Amino acid sequence: MKVAVCIKQVLTKDSPFSLDKPALWINDNDVSFEVNEADTYALEEGVKIIEAQGGEVVLISLGPDRVVGVLKDGLAKGASRAIHVKMEDANSIQPAALADLLADVLKEEAPDLVLLGMQSDDRGNGQMAPNLARAMGLAHATLVTEVLPGDGELSLKREWEGGQFEEMAISLPCVLGIQSGINRPRYASMKGMMAAKKKKIESLVPPDTGQGSDTGGVSLQRIYVPVKTKSGKVVDGNDSAAVVEVMNQLNEVLALRSV
Amino acid sequence: MSKSIFVIAELSGEGLHPGSLEVIALAGALEPSKLTVVVLGDQLADIEDQLKYSAVDSVIKVEHPCLQHYSADAYLASLMPLINEWQPELVLLAHSYQARDYAPALAYEFGKSLVGDAVRVENGSDAWLVERQMFQGRALAEYRVKADGTAFVSVQPGAYSGQHLVPVSAAPAVTQYGADLADGEALRTRHIGLVGPSDKLVNLTDAKVIVAVGRGIKAPENLVLAQRLADCLGGTLAASRPVCDEGWMPHGCQIGSSGQTVSPKLYIALGISGAAQHLVGMKGASTIVAVNKDPNAPIFKIADVAVVGDLFEFVPKLVEELELAKKQVVTA
């Protein structure tokens, strides 16, 4: 099976950030980057499928030159080859237009299966799987927690609210949004890292079709860091007064000493 | 600016998804020229009786055997011609799991991007002003969504209250809309069945004290520290999603949108940054104490006491103090 896995590079989890001058994005120079966590599950699922059935995993990432880092890492974890779609400001493009750009690349590859993580840790739109499916004319399912390849279709489990799961089948080719926790993503082995050096990373520039400038009526005005909504006390955990403060709070809530 | 609004309501068990009522309340507050609630299903019986609110002008029922179980294909095939025909200026829906699956694709089909998981929607002079979270709740983003054709916005459950809807005695006018799904042979997905929670739920809803751990606990062997704190307080140990995904704790003790919703007297969050999906499950706690290294962690925005620091330094000191306090009670 030919599996395409789309991964995104995002700022490192919990790393502090500052906003850029028009307050439309963060200052990229201030932060370090890593692969979007949800996408690691999509990659692992793709690699597991080709290990069981044969085929290849084509890894795709869209962004500036630095995203080559997450492609190399993915190749070391078992992807077969990679495509870097060069774009400087992909984060300024609204999800529907971004799906069109990515669909153009994917149509050339004509994969049997496209896997993505459910949501990015930066913009968090969580729209790429359904949008990409429509742009490619394929079926989709999201929040997927189990994938079992069958004959011309896949058996899936997906998560619904309230702890419920749906068992379903989907015809191939299709696009899946993979829910985190579906598998245990592997670490890159030394052997994997050595093998990755021989694997190809193709670099391409999307044709300037003007798709990116079509905002579909949606325009970002500003990003800001919200102020506290509850007037709680802030204490420094390294200060011994912090324990006293929390003890006072606990005593008040639980009336500890009267127990 | 007065505009027509569609709310696509979702069924949940016998009734409506609570998020759908919240969205109806929000839609009413936007003072639309007409508010129409759309419901899809196999047999919708008297669903309009659950929509007897002053805000609701009319109900469109889309009934078809293929809509007995949700599928993105059947929902899109039903909703696209309906929206084309009625041309609402805004389509609003709850940002439920179901909406996450099809709402982006629905907007895409109209050449639009969904603005999803909104926490605020306002009626501007020539655009909808919509706010949503970014960077896992650490920042907010403001959008203008032009009222040019149909705009699509999904709303975070809990962002608005459905409590203030004004009940009326008469059910709203109902229109039946026939979905063009034939016998469903064009659908590319097939529903097989629903299964319940995969592992036993730990009963957290009755717990008075919950100590919850997040990614900041770093390794499963560190859970013993959190358990000691829980024991001191007679509390129950719970976790955020990443901890359960790692397999360090079972999904049955997960708090948040994909786990349980709790409202204990005391909630102690250790190493939980507070993504929206977690906060929705615990913001009803009476008192929230949060320990986190990151001073900008979103959990601090709703904490009564925000301890900025290393939980591995702070929690042992707190446990020691609590154990000492207990001894004093015994010897007193």
* pLDDT tens readout for residues A28-42: 888 999 999 999 999
Q: How many residues does chain A have?
A: 259
Nearest to B305 among A16, A249, A256 (CB): A249
Nearest C-alpha in A relative to B302: A230
* pLDDT tens readout for residues A216-238: 789 999 999 987 666 788 889 88
Distance CA B319, CA A243 (A): 9
Give the pLDDT confidence score for residue A257 in this predicted structure.
46
Nearest to B197 among A157, A163, A224 (CB): A163
Distance CA B305, CA B314 (A): 13
Say whether residue A170 is in contact with chain B using an 8 A CB cutoff.
yes
CB contact (8 A) between residue B193 and residue A161: no
Give the pLDDT confidence score for residue B199 in this predicted structure.
61
CB contact (8 A) between residue A236 and residue B309: yes
* Residue range B298-302: mean pLDDT, rounded: 91
Question: What residue has token string 């050096």?
Answer: A197
Distance CA B293, CA B311 (A): 8
CB contact (8 A) between residue A161 and residue B309: no
Say whether residue A241 is in contact with chain B using an 8 A CB cutoff.
no
Residue B328 has pLDDT above 90, yes or no: no
Cβ contacts of B201 within 8 Å, gap of 6 or more: A163, B252, B253, B260
* Residue range B89-107: mean pLDDT, rounded: 97
Q: Show residues of chain B in contact with A222, CB under 8 Å.
A: 141-142
Predicted TM-score of the model (pTM): 0.89
Residue B317 has pLDDT above 90, yes or no: yes
ipTM of the complex: 0.92
Average pLDDT, chain B: 92
Q: Tally Cβ neighbours within 10 Å of residue A198.
A: 7
| Torsion of the alpha carbons at A162, A168, A170 and A176, rounded to the nearest 10 | 30
Average pLDDT, chain A: 92
* % of chain B residues with pLDDT over 90: 74
Give the pLDDT confidence score for residue B1 in this predicted structure.
55
Cβ-defined contacts of B291-297 (< 8 Å, 24+): B291/A237, B291/B315, B292/B216, B293/A14, B293/B216, B294/A14, B294/A16, B295/A234, B296/A16, B296/A225, B296/B138, B297/A14, B297/B138, B297/B272, B297/B273
**Most distant CA pair in chain A: distance in Å?**
72
Q: Kindly tell me the burial class for residue A197, based on how many C-beta atoms sit within 10 Å of its own C-beta (0-12, 13-18, 19 or more).
A: exposed
Distance CA A73, CA B290 (A): 34
* pLDDT tens readout for residues A37-93: 999 999 999 999 999 999 999 999 999 999 999 999 999 999 999 999 999 988 889
Distance CA A130, CA A173 (A): 14
Give which of B119, B176, B170, B121 is closest to B147, Cα–Cα. B121
Token reading at A191: 């052997």
Do residues B155 and B92 make contact, with C-beta atoms less than 8 angstroms apart?
yes
Distance CA B64, CA B181 (A): 8
Cβ contacts of A159 within 8 Å, gap of 6 or more: A143, A144, A145, A165, A179, B97, B258
CB contact (8 A) between residue B134 and residue A223: yes
* A259: confidence class by pLDDT, cuts 50, 70, 90: very low
Say whether residue A208 is in contact with chain B using an 8 A CB cutoff.
no
Q: Residue B35 pairs with which residues in a beta bridge?
A: B5
